[in-house]
């Protein structure tokens, strides 16, 4: 695979694209993003600032026949409740959900492979029936698909972020999920040394947290208050969330994470441009993906395709040798076979 065309749906600030570009560069693959799409104006602004193109808006307005041909479909599709999904089977069951927008493009363009991402809760939603319907929809379209929940903590980031990934191939390949095992960066590598007073919580909030927290002995910590009001301090961050309280995560129990720190927790490089305000960046980073996790998935996808090509080449060579031996040395050929 020397060239790759891909589309980036529900692209957010471009975490999936960044991962693809990084791994493609690592493997010497030439890439072209032929379509990006996101309806959120803040996402569009960040994406354009960093990738030089403004994503298309409402995906419902994109005719599947007008989508450019591509090899890989990327989509971090929104985590809707999927209430439309019932007892019927196949992708008809997904109409009315944003997942169906992916299905209709897959059905029309038939790309070679896809990588989808969603929240971990999708796995258990409706006692597993929702994910079952999704997998049936993809298989009905002729894809070999599988899913796995991966945690950013296992891929070098100090953020406990569990997300489900779904990969699919039009051809038969041997796909192996990465096991992770990457040493976690310390918070010292993530946190900025000097931040403005803007990020500091009020004394009332800090004292309230101090009264509730679990006592642990680590150097730098991120304090997390869950929905029940319980406060814990860890040497990593709990998952960034778009709609959570401004103060549910506090560095050392004192201040909020900065925009750059939130991007670092998601694995974005410091060269990634910030062109939106703090409130927007909380939403955008909370909705984004952990780049190193996606990189591991993309690398495994590319290696599955490479493995198939090697196997086909070996089979072709083996067939050629058998033909030659059969012609010139019949008995030896039969023995070898």
Q: What is the pLDDT of residue 328?
A: 52
What separation in angstroms does the CA of 254 have from each of 95, 190, 198, 213, 240? 46, 16, 12, 13, 17
Query: Could you count the other beta carbons within 10 Å of the beta carbon of residue 58?
Result: 10
pLDDT of residue 331: 45
Q: Is the pLDDT confidence value at 281 over 70? A: yes
Q: How confident is the model at residue 318 (pLDDT cuts 50, 70, 90)?
A: low
Is 278 or 204 the better-scoring residue by pLDDT?
278
Is the model's pLDDT at 11 over the cut of 50?
yes
DSSP string, 153-187: GGBT-SEE-EEEEEEEESS----------BPPPPH
79 in catalytic set: yes
pLDDT band at 312 (very low <50, low <70, confident <90, very high): low
- The SS3 of residue 151 is strand
Statement: residue 336 has pLDDT above 50: no
Could you tell me which residue, 261 or 253, shows the higher pLDDT? Answer: 261
Torsion-angle region of 12 (φ positive above 0: left; ψ -120 to 50: alpha; else: beta) = left
Pick from 28, 38, 41: which is nearest to 2 by CA? Answer: 28
Q: Residue 298: which pLDDT band, with cuts at 50, 70 and 90?
A: very high
For the chain, the maximum distance between any two Cα atoms, rounded to a whole number of angstroms, is 90
User: What are the beta bridge partners of residue 182?
Assistant: 155
CATH number for region 3-182+291-314: 3.40.50.150
Q: Over 70: is that where the pLDDT of 57 sits?
A: yes
Q: What is the pLDDT of residue 56?
A: 97
Query: 74 pairs with which residues across the strands?
Result: 8, 115
Backbone phi, then psi, for 101, in 5-degree steps?
A: -65, -35
Residue % of the chain over a pLDDT of 70: 84
Structure tokens at 63: 């005719």
pLDDT, one tens digit per residue, over 176-195 is 999 999 999 999 999 999 99
Q: Is the pLDDT of residue 165 over 50?
A: yes
Decide if pLDDT at 214 tops 80: no
CA distance 138 to 169: 10
Q: How many CA atoms lie within 13 A of 57 on its CB side?
A: 3
215 pLDDT higher than 50: yes
- Residue 254: pLDDT over 80: yes
pLDDT of residue 217: 52
Please give the mean pLDDT across all residues of the chain. 88
- Residue ranges of the domains in the chain? 3-182+291-314, 193-257
**Rounded to whole angstroms, how far apart are CA atoms 133 and 91?**
7
What average pLDDT does the segment 123-132 reach? 88
Give the pLDDT band (50/70/90) at residue 211: low
Q: Which helix (H) or strand (E) holds 301?
A: helix 291-328
Share of the chain above pLDDT 90, in %: 69
Name, in order, each residue with C-beta under 8 angstroms of 90's C-beta and a sequence gap of 6 or more. 136, 137, 140
Please identify which of the residues 11, 33, 79, 336 carries the catalytic annotation: 79
pLDDT at 127 (0 to 100): 86
Amino acid 263: pLDDT? 98
pTM of the model: 0.88
């Amino acid at each position: 695979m020397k060239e790759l065309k891909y589309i980036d749906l529900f692209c957010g600030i471009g975490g999936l694209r960044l991962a693809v570009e990084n791994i493609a560069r690592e493997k010497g693959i030439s890439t072209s993003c032929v379509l990006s799409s996101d309806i959120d104006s803040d996402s569009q602004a960040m994406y354009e600032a960093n990738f030089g193109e403004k994503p298309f808006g409402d995906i419902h307005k994109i005719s599947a026949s007008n989508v450019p041909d591509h090899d890989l479909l990327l989509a971090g599709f929104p985590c809707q409740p999927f209430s439309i999904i019932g007892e019927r089977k196949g992708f008809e069951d997904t109409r009315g959900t944003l997942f169906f927008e992916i299905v209709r493009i897959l059905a029309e363009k038939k790309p070679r492979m896809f990588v989808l991402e969603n929240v971990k809760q999708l796995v258990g939603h409706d006692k597993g029936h929702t994910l079952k319907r999704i997998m049936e929809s993809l298989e009905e379209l002729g894809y070999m698909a599988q899913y796995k929940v991966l945690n950013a903590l296992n891929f070098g980031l100090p953020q406990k972020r569990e997300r489900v990934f779904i990969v699919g191939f039009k051809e038969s390949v041997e796909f192996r999920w990465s096991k992770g095992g990457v040493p976690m960066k310390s918070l010292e590598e993530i946190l900025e040394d000097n931040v403005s007073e803007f990020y500091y919580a009020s004394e009332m909030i800090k004292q309230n947290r101090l009264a509730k927290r679990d006592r642990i002995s680590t150097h730098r910590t991120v304090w997390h208050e869950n929905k029940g009001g319980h406060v814990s301090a860890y040497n990593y961050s709990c998952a960034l969330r778009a709609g959570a309280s401004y103060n549910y995560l506090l560095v050392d129990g004192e201040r909020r994470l900065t925009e750059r720190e939130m991007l670092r927790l998601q694995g974005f490089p410091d060269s990634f441009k910030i062109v939106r305000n703090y409130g927007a960046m909380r939403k955008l980073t909370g909705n984004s993906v952990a780049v190193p996790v996606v990189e591991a998935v993309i690398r495994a996808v590319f290696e599955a395709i490479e493995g198939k090509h090697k196997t086909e080449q070996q089979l072709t060579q083996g067939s050629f040798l058998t033909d030659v031996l059969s012609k010139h040395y019949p008995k030896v050929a039969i023995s070898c076979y």
